[in-house]
Amino acid sequence: TNLDNELALAWQTQHSGIDGRVTGVEALLRWPSAPGDLMRNDRLVPLLEETGAIVQVGQWVLREACRHQRLLLETLGPGCRIAINVSAQQLVHTDLVAEVRQALTETGASASALELELTESAFMNEPERAIRTLHELRAMGVSIALDDFGTGYSNLTYLSRLPLDKIKIDRHFTSTLLQDEVDASICRSIIFLARSLSLEVVAEGVETDRQRHWLLAEDCNAMQGFFFSRPVPIEELHGRYAVVSQAYDSLGSHLN
């Protein structure tokens, strides 16, 4: 298809901040032939949402992630989860449950190793439908993560009702937590909230060892960011982590 020729996925690993162990990997959309910074996920996705193409592209990402799941699990270890981003338009305007079920069936992928990441904006228009959809996905064994937490409206009423497994702290707060006491307090509060709700919490955008140590001290030990790895093609990921014990050794020495 045209999408296969135009789009690609890059993969960014998630890690334990304690020992560097890989705990998951996120699929990030890339448009290799695009001009300038449209190659970046954070610029490309808003453009696709504006043009309405995000639904078709989101379906492609889901299928591709499921297609690559077995290789990723062989590379990173069976306990990892493969995360993809789901847009508000996919959640509201498509039968997401049927699409996930079909992708899993066609590719032989495992629901328990699939994680869907959604932002708070996904629940703005039709919250009741969104909540029902997420409950159905959870019943299939799929994990649900709330992405970019703290940048939206953070409606705690809905948060208490959402069937979530994980909250991801937005990279804005992580990048400034050592310089800005307000952002540090927000990070601390998000971690406490996640723990109170028995949710996993992942800090995005970790770039320095000082940030890693701060997060560990606040009881956030799951992290993602350039300190551990940039998003890379699957071939590079496979070459780097083909033997999981080697990943332990290399990241462990980096963190000590």
Distances in Å between the Cα of 10 and the Cα atoms of 69, 84, 233 are: 13, 11, 5
Whether this model's pTM surpasses 0.75: yes
Q: CA 221, CA 227: separation in Å to the nearest integer?
A: 14
What residues contact 243, with CB distance under 8 A and at least 6 apart? none
Q: Rounded CA gap, 159 and 93, in Å?
A: 22
Q: How confident is the model at residue 234 (pLDDT cuts 50, 70, 90)?
A: very high
pLDDT digits (tens, 9 = 90+) for 11-66: 999 999 999 999 999 999 988 776 665 556 677 777 888 888 889 999 999 999 99
Which pair of tokens denotes residue 193? 């909230």
